[in-house]
């Protein structure tokens, strides 16, 4: 569907905050109902999910208790149960340059995080349960 660019936001989230919560809170405060974003920076620990397509649930949560670079965190904002909902994926790199990634989960703690959010207008996407995948999809 066609959408138009709305407001844009740039800034950084507080050190020690949860990355997913920070994104969700900002979207709530600014009432961003549809959008896309990127975040770069670093974290002091990370939690990522992997979706088991056969079992239709997030399994094998990857918990990394180490300092990592956010080489890329990207995602979208839409509505779930009428409220702004953030779907984010993240790729992180360690001291040796090794990267890992997954679905961003609560428990990823910010060392530094610079965000850019672009609101999109002219459409509304609601997440609803999709029986084929078990996910909440548009």
Residues that bind Zn ion (CB under 5 A): 103
Q: How far is the CB of 71 from Zn ion (least distance, A)?
A: 17
Distances (CA, A) of 57 to 19, 78, 100: 22, 21, 20
Alpha helices in the chain (DSSP H): 19-29
Between 4 and 81, CB nearer to Zn ion: 81
Q: How far is the CB of 46 from Zn ion (least distance, A)?
A: 15
Distance CA 44, CA 89 (A): 17
3-state helix, strand, coil in the chain (%, to 5): 10, 60, 30
Q: Which residue is nearest to Zn ion (CB)?
A: 103
Between 67 and 103, CB nearer to Zn ion: 103
Between 12 and 138, CB nearer to Zn ion: 138
Between 86 and 117, CB nearer to Zn ion: 86
Between 45 and 103, CB nearer to Zn ion: 103
Q: How far is the CB of 56 from Zn ion (least distance, A)?
A: 13
Q: How far is the CB of 51 from Zn ion (least distance, A)?
A: 7
Instruction: With beta carbons less than 8 A apart as the criterion, state whether 112 and 39 touch.
Output: no
Smallest CA-to-CA distance from 120 within 37, 24, 19 is with: 37
Q: How far is the CB of 81 from Zn ion (least distance, A)?
A: 18
Instruction: With beta carbons less than 8 A apart as the criterion, state whether 120 and 4 touch.
Output: yes
């Amino acid at each position: 569907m066609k959408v138009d660019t709305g407001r844009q936001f740039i800034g950084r989230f507080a050190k020690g905050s949860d990355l997913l919560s920070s994104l969700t809170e900002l979207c709530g405060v600014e009432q961003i109902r549809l959008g896309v974003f990127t975040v770069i920076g670093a974290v002091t620990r990370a939690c990522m999910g992997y979706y088991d397509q056969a079992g239709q649930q997030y399994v094998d949560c990857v918990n990394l208790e180490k300092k990592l670079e956010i080489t890329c965190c990207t995602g979208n904002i839409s509505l779930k149960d009428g409220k702004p909902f953030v779907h984010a994926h993240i790729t992180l790199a360690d001291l040796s340059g090794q990267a890992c990634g997954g679905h961003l989960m609560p428990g990823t703690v910010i060392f530094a995080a610079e965000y850019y959010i672009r609101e999109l207008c002219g459409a509304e996407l609601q997440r609803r349960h999709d029986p084929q995948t078990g996910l909440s999809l548009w």
